[in-house]
Structures are given as C-alpha cells and as structure tokens.
Amino acid sequence: MQITAYVVEEGRFKPLSVDAPEQLPERAVWVRAIDPTEEECIRLAAKLGFQLDIDEAARTLETYGHVEVEGDQLTVIMQAGQTDAAHEHVTSRGVVLMSANKLLTLRTGQAPAFESTAREIAGDEAGPEPSLQVVILLLSNAMQVTSKILDGAEADVHRYARALFNTTRSTRAEIDLENLLSDLGSLQTKMVDLRYRHRLISRIVEIVKADPKFALTPDLQEDLNLVASDAVSLRDFTQSIDDQLSRLMESTIGFIGIRQNASARWFSIVATVFMPPTLLGAVWGMNFKYMPELDDPYSYTIALTLMLLSATIPLWIVRRMGWLGR
C-alpha cells in the first residue's frame, strides 16, 4: 500500500509520504491510499474518524455504486470492470470518505481522475476549505475523463457507421457483420458503465450542493456549478451516443437478416432449377418391365432435352422476376 497525506503549509498543498496509518499527521486534509487491503482501509478510516462498511454483496458485482450521507460523513463506493494496458479485464474499486474538513480516498486498479487530481493539487494554492477544494477538483477531473471516453465512443460509432454504410454493395458483402455486432455490443457495455459513472458523479454533486455541512465559499460554489453544468451536458451527450449506437445495432441486425435471406433465396433458386430434372430422372430411372420409352431410338435424346428445358425454364422465370440481381 502507498499512502500520501496532503497538508497545507504556507497556504499551499504539500504531499507527504506515510508508511503506516498510525503515522498520519492530524493536519492532513486529504489522505490518498493506493492498493490497500481491506484491513488497511478500515485502519485508515478509523484513524481519520470515519466509519467504513463494505457491502459483502458488492464483491460479486462487476459494476457497483453507492452514495450515502450519515451524520457528518459522506461515503462513496464505486466499482467497475475495465481493460488494462495489457488488454486484460480487471476490476477497479474506489472509496471516498469525506467530512467537512477531512478527505480519504482509497483505490485499487486504474483511476485516472484520482491520479490527475494528485498531480494538480501538489503545490497548488489552498483555499479556506481545502478538503472541499480537492473534492471539487476530483469531480471536475472525473467529468473530464468521462468526456474523453465519450469522445472515443462517439468516434467508434462513426467509424463503424462508415464501415457499414459508406461502402458499395460488393464491399459490404465482405464485412464480417457478426464480429461488427459483437464490437457494437462491447461498446454498448462500455456505455452502460459510463452512464453509471455519470449518475454517481451527479449524485455526489447534488449532495455537496444541498448539504449545509459542506460550507462552500463563493469560488468553490462557482466551481461546483460548473461541474453540475458539465454533468448536464455529458448526460445529453451520452444519450445522443446511445441513440446512435442503438440505431447502428438495429441496422447491423437488419443487414445480417438481408444476408441470410439472400443465402436462403439462392438455395431456393437452386432447388427450383434442379427439381424438375431430378423428377424426370427419377421417373425414367424406375425399373418397370414395360416402359414404352425404352423401345424408342430417340428416347435418350428426348429425355436429355426435356431435362434441359425443365431446368432452363425455371431459371428464365427467376431471372425475369429479377431475383438473380438482388
């Protein structure tokens, strides 16, 4: 476990490395822990005067979010599956415990918003409410991370749409529609996770704005209003991408149906063309003793001609109806 305590010295945030929870300075306004065990999380929370209860049922869930206000403490627990740099599926968990003058963040796995906040706050000027200042910066960075992921999702949707629609008929026939549908399903799963994150951030913003124990200065109130405004914009942006993705999935399923119908139509055409010759061959292949065609010297030629005509006429009808060109 890596512990960093942020204190205010000479009006600025200063990070201090801490080896154990018992060594935390009393004047720490933000304590950040990376990859702690459950026991270490409880010890850190107790040292700062927080209560930490982790729901056992949450361990079995890949996506989980919980926001609770009890007394002077705000508790946020978030858990989500994501893909790491090695393209392996991992579960990241973040816990935020907050009071009017203390902030504790615990995280395992990747957490870009936590990391960017830690970089930006070090050496930055501290205001009258430093813990709230860190929280609002953390919320702002979380919004920026979500916005970047949404931009990437929208670019993916446009790329898939161009591959599906901006092609000729022959080129579209070479597209693996099943794999495309699988990719769209994965993207839709990512959008579900993004909506979950957005709702969680919006809930925290609402609580901090409405709860009187979080006494916001005018500057912090203005910053929080900007975060709230960004939350509304991202909600509309997310809905727009969801709508585009849903229509694209429906179109892909439609093209799969068209391709399957085309395959079934060709099987029907082949069956229609070869059915009459097969019937004639079956009739003349019977082993009856008395068959008048056997005594006719031209019966073989006549049989081949009839078989050819019986195959050609249905093929001509099919082509006349335009089925071959579809």
CATH number for the domain harbouring residue 110: 3.30.460.20
The chain-wide mean pLDDT, for the chain, equals: 82
Helix H, strand E, coil C: the string for the chain is CEEEEEEEECCEEEEEEECCHHHCCCCCCEEEEECCCHHHHHHHHHHCCCCCCCCHHHHHCCCEEEEEEECCEEEEEEEEEEECCCCCEEEEEEEEEECCCCEEEEEECCCHHHHHHHHHHCCCECCCCHHHHHHHHHHHHHHHHHHHHHHHHHHHHHHHHHHHHCCCHHHHCCCCHHHHHHHHHHHHHHHHHHHHHHHHHHHHHHHHHHCCCCCCCHHHHHHHHHHHHHHHHHHHHHHHHHHHHHHHHHHHHHHHHHHHHHHHHHHHHHHHHHHHHHHHHHHHCCCCCCCHHHHCCCHHHHHHHHHHHHHHHHHHHHHHCCCCCC
Asked if 63 contacts 94 with a C-beta cutoff of 8 angstroms, the reply is no
Q: Which domain holds residue 271?
A: 266-320
Establish if 214 belongs to a structural domain: no
pLDDT of residue 81: 59
pLDDT of residue 54: 67
CATH number for the domain harbouring residue 298: 1.20.58
Establish if 134 belongs to a structural domain: no
Lowest mean pLDDT among 53-67, 186-200, 262-276: 53-67
Number of independent structural domains in the chain: 2
Establish if 121 belongs to a structural domain: yes
CA 166 to chain CA centroid, Å, is 24
| 167, pLDDT greater than 70 | no
pLDDT category at 61 given cuts 50, 70, 90 is low
Looking at residues 187-191, what average pLDDT do you find? 86
Query: Final residue of a domain: which of 76, 94, 126?
Result: 126
| 88, pLDDT greater than 60 | no
Establish if 200 belongs to a structural domain: no
Query: Final residue of a domain: which of 126, 149, 175?
Result: 126
Tens digit of pLDDT for each residue in 112-156? Answer: 888 888 889 888 898 888 888 898 998 898 888 888 989 999 999
Query: Final residue of a domain: which of 76, 100, 126?
Result: 126
Establish if 281 belongs to a structural domain: yes
pLDDT category at 89 given cuts 50, 70, 90 is low
| 63, pLDDT greater than 70 | no
Asked if 67 contacts 203 with a C-beta cutoff of 8 angstroms, the reply is yes
pLDDT of residue 7: 92
Establish if 96 belongs to a structural domain: yes
Phi, psi of 324 (to 5 degrees): -70, -25
Stated pTM of the model? 0.73
pLDDT of residue 90: 59
pLDDT of residue 156: 92
Establish if 227 belongs to a structural domain: no
Establish if 229 belongs to a structural domain: no
Amino acid, single-letter form, for residue 122: A
% of the chain with per-residue pLDDT over 70:
89
% of the chain with per-residue pLDDT over 90:
9
